[in-house]
Amino acid sequence: MTTYRDLTGRGVSTRTAAVLVGLPRATATRTPRAQVARPVVVPANRLDVLERARILAVVNSARFVDLPPIQIYAQLRDEGVYLASISTIYRVLAENKQVKERRRLARHPARAIPELVATGPGQVYTWDITKLPGPIKGKYFDAYVMIDIFSRYIVGVKVHPAESAVLAAEMMRETFGIHGTPQVVHADRGTSMTSKTVAALLSDLEVTKSHSRPRVSNDNPYSEAWFKTLKFAPVFPERFASLGDARRFMNTFVEGYNHTHRHTGIGLNTPADVHFGLAAGKAAERAATLAAARARNPERFSTNLDPKILATPDAAWINKPAEQEEGPKLAA
């Protein structure tokens, strides 16, 4: 563009100069936008600094601090006062970062994320209650289910006609008497889970109680996942004819789950094998079977390693930290 301007300044026509520099004449003759000096026009209706300060003072006064701009506008108009339009009041508030609740509000502290780890059976139990459909619409039975998160073994299951903290405590006492008292019991924030009855029992037994954050289902993943396994099973009925029917079904289902279901989260072992320390022996038997198959047909195997899906994890977590700098801790 500098060459073009030099040529036209020496008397060369704009057409010829554009051809010489290789630009369309329209482009060459266009004045760069940055070189156009445009006067700054202040809108006639623009509020000055004092007017904006007055608006801010009025809306933050003791009388109006709890009201939104539309209410302030209406009340002042009824009193014969025009402060500014509703949109202008909002703009002034936005400029001062006050387009939010200006009242004093209670601030609930952020809930701590429960971080639990179990490196063996009997350390961390999680429990919850789910509804089982009864014989008629609107009738439900309550299934109390407690799971060992390391082995996925269902250590306790009870079905009752209603939810009760007393019944929950009874289930815990029976479960702990059979399988031992864990170090931590985790649950969501249901009525029975946070009841004084359950809290007193766990305190007496010196068991750490842990709770999910409000409205965070992922904080109780083992119970939620097991309930899905239960209710999506092909054998799960549409309704249970009676309380006894529901109890028989749950006992049978839990027995099959604990002793015949191969769980992908624990190396395709059954929960019972992991819970009672039989998984290592099963792993050796599986390795021997695979080694024999590899010896018979080595060309069918691309590696001498066992499939990763058969590996039993060393630990089970609820909310494993992204960066674990220290060793595992059993704490809520």
* Residue 295, in any domain of the structure: no
Is residue 63 domain-shared with residue 23, that is, in the same domain? no
Containing domain of residue 11, as a range?
Answer: 2-35
Whether 147 is in a domain gets the answer yes
| 168-206 tens-digit pLDDT | 999 999 999 999 999 999 999 999 999 999 999 999 999
Q: What is the mean pLDDT of residues 227-238?
A: 96
Residues 120 and 232 in one domain: yes
Residue 73's pLDDT is 93
Considering the domain boundaries, does residue 63 fall inside one?
Answer: yes
Average pLDDT taken over every residue of the chain: 89
Residues 89 and 227 in one domain: no
| Residue 139 placed within a domain | yes
Helices (H) and strands (E) in the chain, counts: 12, 7
Contacts of 185 (CB under 8 A, 6+ apart): 124, 125, 126, 127, 172, 202, 207, 208, 209, 210
Whether residue 133 is predicted with pLDDT greater than 80 in this model: the reply is yes
Task: State yes or no: pLDDT of 329 exceeds 50.
Answer: no
This prediction has a pTM of 0.66
> How far is CA 282 from each of CA 50, 99, 119, 242, 306, rounded to the nearest angstrom?
82, 64, 19, 40, 13
- 3-state secondary structure at position 116: strand
* Cα-Cα-Cα-Cα dihedral sign, residues 184, 189, 195, 196: positive
- pLDDT in the model for residue 112: 84
Per DSSP, the three-state class of 242 is: coil
Of 238, 266, 294, the residue at which a domain comes to its end is 266
CB-count exposure of residue 196 (10 Å: 0-12, 13-18, 19+): exposed
Mean pLDDT of 57-68: 90
pLDDT over 90, % of the chain? 66
Q: What is the pLDDT of residue 153?
A: 97
* Within a domain: 208: yes
Element (H, E) at 210: strand 208-211
Q: Are 131 and 7 part of one and the same domain?
A: no
Select the more confidently predicted residue: 102 or 66.
Answer: 66
Residue 315 lies in a domain: no
State whether the Cα torsion 39-45-48-52 is positive or negative: negative
Q: Are residues 86 and 215 in the same domain?
A: no
CATH number at 128 reads 3.30.420.10
Q: pLDDT of 207-226, one tens digit each?
A: 999 999 988 878 999 999 99
Which range among 136-150, 230-244, 271-285, 309-323 shows the weakest confidence by mean pLDDT?
Answer: 309-323
Distance CA(46)–CA(18), nearest Å, equals: 45
DSSP class of residue 206 equals T
Whose tokens are 């029992």? That residue is: 201
Whether 70 and 122 share a structural domain: no
Q: Give the Cα separation of 128 and 318 in Å (integer).
A: 15
pLDDT of 309 over the 60 cut: yes
Residue 73 and residue 186 share a domain: no
266, 288, 321 - which closes a domain: 266
* Statement to judge: residues 233 and 138 lie in one domain: yes
Instruction: Kindly tell me if the per-residue pLDDT of 118 is higher than 70.
Output: yes
Using a pLDDT cut of 70, give the percent of the chain over it: 93
Residues 158 and 248 in one domain: yes
For the segment 276-287, the average pLDDT, to the nearest whole number, is 93
Could you tell me how many residues make up the chain?
332
Q: Domain check: are 128 and 28 in the same one?
A: no
User: Does residue 107 fall inside a structural domain?
Assistant: no
Quote the pLDDT of residue 325: 47
Query: pLDDT: is 301 or 325 the higher one?
Result: 301
Question: Which of 209, 240, 266 is the last residue in one of the domains?
Answer: 266
Is residue 303 domain-resident?
no
Tell me: do 151 and 31 sit in the same domain: no
Q: Which of 1-10, 101-110, 214-223 has the lowest mean pLDDT?
A: 101-110
Task: Report the number of distinct structural domains present in the chain.
Answer: 3
pLDDT of residue 42: 75
